[in-house]
């Protein structure tokens, strides 16, 4: 992937996000094992994951409207995240873990749903003018995120005798250290205190509302098959141990990283919307097939096949929402879309935990159907867009 002359701010943002992704992935698939080892039921595990999603949503919604400069908003989000992981490491109890998840707004979905993400996307989007440059740099941004995800999953595989104490200590260390790359980032001077919040015109509001509704449906279905919920599903259905789970999600994230790179070139050939829809739809067919045969190897293979295409929509989606809206409103729309996605995932873990406890096969099947409906509707509404 040729990005041309690298931009230091964009590179450092990607490095910080990769560190955050390591922590979030490691916590997301190890937390079900930690909680179940303390006799927490599958349903209550889902409720704890729900609590993290709810807290994350509140932060994503509240922080962008604070009348402070972007850099201070980023540092506030970093402090909450670091405080939470340090608290979990120090206490090493279920109560301490729940407090940390809520206080830090930690989403256990395995994806980065932090308040910093829309700010980072805004900064990268402001560095370049052409869709091609944006798409390539967003591909790199997301690629490093999946590299962090892969490293987080491989940690429990490559480190013999890994303990929950070590896992939480490593997460706390990296969360604190993730602030250092930001010191080399030149953040825009945008501040709601200085300029107010710009308004959207009628056409932009219509696009925002339709995209928000679609992203909500996609996120609701995706909440059933987040990293933590899939780890819980493999544990409940196949009694997969934590090290094998780490290996599964390492392969998942390697495939995701490869698909991120491929998506940049594909979207330049067929367009962002077609890339978003067709690759995502194929992945959802494999998701529906996951529970059909009750054979661990086949379920893993279908998951890997799904992951090889499921993330090809991420970079084109970032490019699309950071091009279709004007630069003045992008911080706002990015935050709104992230908040919508977070809100929509809130009920999924509790429902997913109940499904796993009652009819486990229904979990990936339901997610695949819902997400396929999102793909078809997105294509119908935005197929004429030429970005």
Q: How large is the average pLDDT for residues 189-210? A: 70
CA–CA separation, 355 and 370 (whole Å):
15
Per-residue pLDDT at 189: 66
Note the pLDDT tens digit of each residue in 137-157: 787 888 888 889 999 999 999
CA–CA separation, 15 and 18 (whole Å):
5
pTM, entire model: 0.83
* Confidence band for 192, pLDDT divided at 50, 70 and 90: very low
Place of tokens 């987040």: 226
For residues 275 and 135, the answer to whether their CB atoms sit within 8 Å is no
CA–CA separation, 95 and 77 (whole Å):
22
CA–CA separation, 52 and 36 (whole Å):
17
* Confidence band for 1, pLDDT divided at 50, 70 and 90: very low
Note the pLDDT tens digit of each residue in 250-301: 999 899 878 877 877 788 788 888 999 999 999 999 999 999 999 999 999 9
Domains of the chain, start order: 8-187+201-382 (1.20.1250.20)
* Confidence band for 225, pLDDT divided at 50, 70 and 90: very high
For residues 221 and 371, the answer to whether their CB atoms sit within 8 Å is yes
Q: How large is the average pLDDT for residues 79-91? A: 96
* Confidence band for 109, pLDDT divided at 50, 70 and 90: confident
How many Cβ atoms are within 10 Å of 179's Cβ, its own excluded? Answer: 16
Q: Following CA atoms 347, 249, 29, 216 in sequence, which dihedral angle do they give, to the nearest 10 degrees?
A: -20
Is pLDDT above 70 for 194?
no
Give backbone dihedrals phi and psi of 39, rounded to 5 degrees, phi first: 65, 30
């Amino acid at each position: 992937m040729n990005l041309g002359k690298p931009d230091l701010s964009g590179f450092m943002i990607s490095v910080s996000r990769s560190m955050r992704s390591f922590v979030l992935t490691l916590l997301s698939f190890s937390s079900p094992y930690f909680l179940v080892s303390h006799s927490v039921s599958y349903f209550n595990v889902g409720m704890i994951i729900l609590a993290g999603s709810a807290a994350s949503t509140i932060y994503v919604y509240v922080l962008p409207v604070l009348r402070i400069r972007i850099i201070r908003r980023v540092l506030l989000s970093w402090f909450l995240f670091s405080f939470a992981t340090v608290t979990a490491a120090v206490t090493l109890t279920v109560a301490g873990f729940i407090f940390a998840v809520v206080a830090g707004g930690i989403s256990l979905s395995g994806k980065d749903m932090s308040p910093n993400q829309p700010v980072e996307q805004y900064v990268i989007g402001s560095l370049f003018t052409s869709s091609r440059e944006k798409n390539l740099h967003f591909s790199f941004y997301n690629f490093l995120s999946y590299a962090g995800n892969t490293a987080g999953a491989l940690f429990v595989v490559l480190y013999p005798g890994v303990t929950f104490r070590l896992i939480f200590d490593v997460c706390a260390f990296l969360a604190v250290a993730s602030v250092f790359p930001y010191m080399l980032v030149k953040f825009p001077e945008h501040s709601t205190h200085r300029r107010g919040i710009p308004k959207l015109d009628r056409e932009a509001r219509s696009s925002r509302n339709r995209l928000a509704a679609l992203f909500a449906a996609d996120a609701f279905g995706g909440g059933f098959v987040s990293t933590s919920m899939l780890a819980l599903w493999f544990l409940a259905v196949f009694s997969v141990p934590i090290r094998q789970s780490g290996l599964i999600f390492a392969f998942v994230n390697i495939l995701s990283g490869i698909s991120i790179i491929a998506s940049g070139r594909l979207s330049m050939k067929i367009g962002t919307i077609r890339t978003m829809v067709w690759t995502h739809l194929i992945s959802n067919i494999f998701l529906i097939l996951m529970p059909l045969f009750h054979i661990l190897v086949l379920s893993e293979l279908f998951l890997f096949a799904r992951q090889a295409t499921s993330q090809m929509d991420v970079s084109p989606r970032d490019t699309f929402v950071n091009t279709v809206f004007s630069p003045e409103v992008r911080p706002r729309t990015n935050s709104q879309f992230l908040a919508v996605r977070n809100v929509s995932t809130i009920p999924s873990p509790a429902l997913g935990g109940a499904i796993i406890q009652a009819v486990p096969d229904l979990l990936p099947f339901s997610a695949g159907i819902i997400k396929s409906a999102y793909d078809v509707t997105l294509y119908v509404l935005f197929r004429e867009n030429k970005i």
